[in-house]
Homo-oligomer: A and B are copies of this chain.
Amino acid sequence: MADERLRDELRRFVAEREWAQFHSPENLAKSIAIEAAELLECYQWSGDADAHRVSDELADVLTYCHLLADRLGLEPTKIVRDKLEITRKKYPVETARGRSVKHDRL
């Protein structure tokens, strides 16, 4: 599984640096929000962002997401799929098509 290989690489990276002590779920959640804002900063003043910088910041968000998932015993691909199933029901094709409103206003 791609998820597991990546998870193992991240585990080794963290273990070598003895960083698990800092990686409480709460600290990782903060880190995801911090990196997400750095990604957003690429688009602060315009929709036209530097591709390399975006890739870099997106990688940081994803890295912390993987670390949090592993810390909580969650499989990233699985939870995305499970959520997709729920979202499919909340936003049925017939009513949601071509509209960006929230499900409670559909």
Question: Which residue numbers of A lie inside 8 Å of B, CB to CB?
Answer: 1-3, 6, 9-10, 13, 16-19, 21-22, 24-27, 29-47, 49, 51, 54-56, 58-63, 65-66, 68-69, 72, 74, 76-77, 79-84, 87-88, 91, 93, 96-98, 100
Query: Measured between C-beta atoms, what is the minimum distance from A71 to chain B in Å?
Result: 10
Q: Indicate if the CB atoms of A47 and B18 lie closer than 8 Å.
A: no
Q: List 14 A-B contacts (CB under 8 A).
A: A6-B77, A9-B84, A19-B98, A19-B100, A27-B45, A29-B42, A29-B49, A30-B44, A33-B36, A33-B39, A36-B37, A58-B72, A59-B79, A63-B83
Give Cα distance in the complex from A18 to B3, angstroms. Answer: 29
Give Cα distance in the complex from A24 to B69, angstroms. Answer: 27
